[in-house]
Amino acid sequence: MAEQIPLDIPERPKLAQNITHFARALRKAGLPIGPGRVIDAIHAVEAAGFTEKRDFYWTLHACFVNKPEHREVFAQIFRLYWRDPRYLEQMMAAMLPAIRGVQEDREAQAAERRAAEALLDGVERDAPPQEEGEASEETEIEIDASRTMSGEERLRTLDFELMSTDEITQAKRMLAQLFLPVKPIPSRRGMASLRGSKVDWRRTLRASMRQGGEIRDIAKLTPRPRWPNLVVLCDISGSMSQYSRIILHFLHAVSNAKGAGWAKVHAFTFGTRLTNITRHLAQRDVDAALKSAGAEAQDWEGGTRIGSCLHGFNRDWSRRVMGQGAVVLLITDGLDRDDPDQLGHEMQRLQLSSRRLIWLNPLLRWEGFAPKAQGIAAMLPHVDSFRAGHSIASLQELAEVISRPDDVGEKARLMAALP
């Protein structure tokens, strides 16, 4: 729980109004809070009373929090809203980390950014009026965080590496609503169906035994659908750091999406070593999930050893996660200094173990891109599809073609350019 600060009671308290605004901030941060819960919270505080801030905290917590992933968000917004003396400076620093001198350098806590966004949203509109005669001696700083000229359409095609802090925040919100739908794979096992293409002789004969051996109806079978696994291998080396951080937000949304069709989503990061972050992305809260995943992967923004990392995956993880026709997403720029022959061999093993191997490369954003690097030339022949992965639009295109077995992306064009 957040550190408690003594609660100062004003001369003209408006507790019910403040609880209502507090509930509005929680709703903006993602908590499902309606008018009924706000009324219950006001009645609960009136009935329970409080002499310490801790009692007030747990009374509101009991009314507004009903899921474990909402606890951290509630704690951060409670700390900021109920008058931490430096709450505005901390919110501004969380939203605009490029500004220095506003607050001391410290590690951001999980859900703190979401709390800052919820409380700063519409701060001018909801700000209480200033008392007459009350003058502020501090310097007033106005920051325009409004959208830029072309809005959402421009943001879709903008390169992740060229985005500002505000644009990255908006892009993460858009990616949280993006899905990767997949079509089921027909299996050898069948299921009962009135319009099946095969005759279920076993069920037909069993039914005839109940009719004295007379066959009255012929039972039919249709192939039982089977959903594949999604395996994601994401490069987190120095040249891919900006892209990987945003794409991991997208992978978190895919991992927690219901009804997308994937049997299970397995996620791995690699730079100089391979790290399994599947269980971290399973957390519902995106901030807590990425914080724990970042703590698990110790090679952020380091070097790249794609060949050795793929060797470790093929040796230790392939048989565990690649069953049932898994689709593999390989997200890397392909700039590797390992032996290209070993890299090509490991890519071939990876392709043979998967149903489809799709390579997302941010370098495809350049019109003059050519497979001149040894690593890219060694990897390209062993992928089923080669696509760009530098913007929201490129990820939306991936969602449209991921279930199409005939999609090769830019592979055919670039294979012709190989020496």
Tell me, what's the pLDDT at 106? Answer: 46
Give the tens place of pLDDT for each residue, 97-136: 433 333 334 444 555 555 666 665 544 434 444 444 444 4
84: Cβ–Cβ under 8 A, 6 or more apart, which residues? Answer: 5, 90
Stretch 73-83: mean pLDDT, rounded?
A: 82
Q: Which residues pair with 266 in a beta bridge?
A: 231
Q: What is the chain's length?
A: 419
For residue 86, pLDDT beyond 60 = no
* % of the chain surpassing 90 pLDDT: 21
Q: Shortest CA distance to 44 belongs to which of 69, 19, 17?
A: 19
Give the tens place of pLDDT for each residue, 206-235: 888 888 888 888 888 888 888 889 999 999
Taking the CA atoms of the chain, what radius of gyration do you get in angstroms? 27
Query: CA-CA distance, 217 to 221, in Å (whole number)?
Result: 13
Give the tens place of pLDDT for each residue, 377-413: 999 999 999 999 889 999 989 988 888 888 898 999 8
Stretch 291-301: mean pLDDT, rounded?
A: 85
Domains, in order of start, for the chain: 14-85 (1.10.150), 189-225 (no CATH), 229-417 (3.40.50.410)
Contact 108, 94 (CB under 8 A): yes
Give the tens place of pLDDT for each residue, 170-181: 888 888 888 888
Query: CA-CA distance, 41 to 67, in Å (whole number)?
Result: 17
Tell me, what's the pLDDT at 268? Answer: 95
- Give this prediction's pTM: 0.65
SS3 at position 416 = helix
Query: CA-CA distance, 91 to 112, in Å (whole number)?
Result: 8
117: Cβ–Cβ under 8 A, 6 or more apart, which residues? Answer: 28, 29, 95, 169
Stretch 81-100: mean pLDDT, rounded?
A: 51
Do the bridges between strand 220-226 and strand 185-192 make them parallel or antiparallel, or are there none, so unpaired? antiparallel
SS3 at position 165 = helix
The mean pLDDT of the chain is 79
Stretch 321-343: mean pLDDT, rounded?
A: 88
Query: CA-CA distance, 42 to 361, in Å (whole number)?
Result: 53
Residue scoring higher pLDDT (360 or 368): 360
172: Cβ–Cβ under 8 A, 6 or more apart, which residues? Answer: 246, 249
For residue 286, pLDDT beyond 80 = yes
Tell me, what's the pLDDT at 133? Answer: 47
Query: CA-CA distance, 415 to 326, in Å (whole number)?
Result: 25
Tell me, what's the pLDDT at 365? Answer: 85
Contact 397, 387 (CB under 8 A): yes
How many Cα atoms sit within 13 Å of 155 on the Cβ side?
Answer: 17
End-to-end CA distance of the chain: 60
Ramachandran sector of residue 271 (left: φ over 0; alpha: ψ -120 to 50; beta: rest): alpha
Give the tens place of pLDDT for each residue, 335-351: 887 789 999 999 999 99
DSSP 56-90: HHHHHHHHH--SGGGHHHHHHHHHHHTT-TTHHHH
Tell me, what's the pLDDT at 143? Answer: 43
CA 300 to chain centroid, in Å, comes to: 18
Tell me, what's the pLDDT at 126? Answer: 41
Strand arrangement, sheet containing 198-199? 185-192, 220-226, 198-199
Tell me, what's the pLDDT at 345? Answer: 94
For residue 85, pLDDT beyond 50 = no
Confidence of residue 148 (pLDDT cuts 50, 70, 90): very low
Packing angle of the helix pair 87-95, 112-120 (nearest 10 deg): 100
Q: What ranges make up the beta strands (E) of 206-355?
A: 220-226, 230-235, 265-270, 274-276, 327-331
Tokens coding 364 = 């495809």
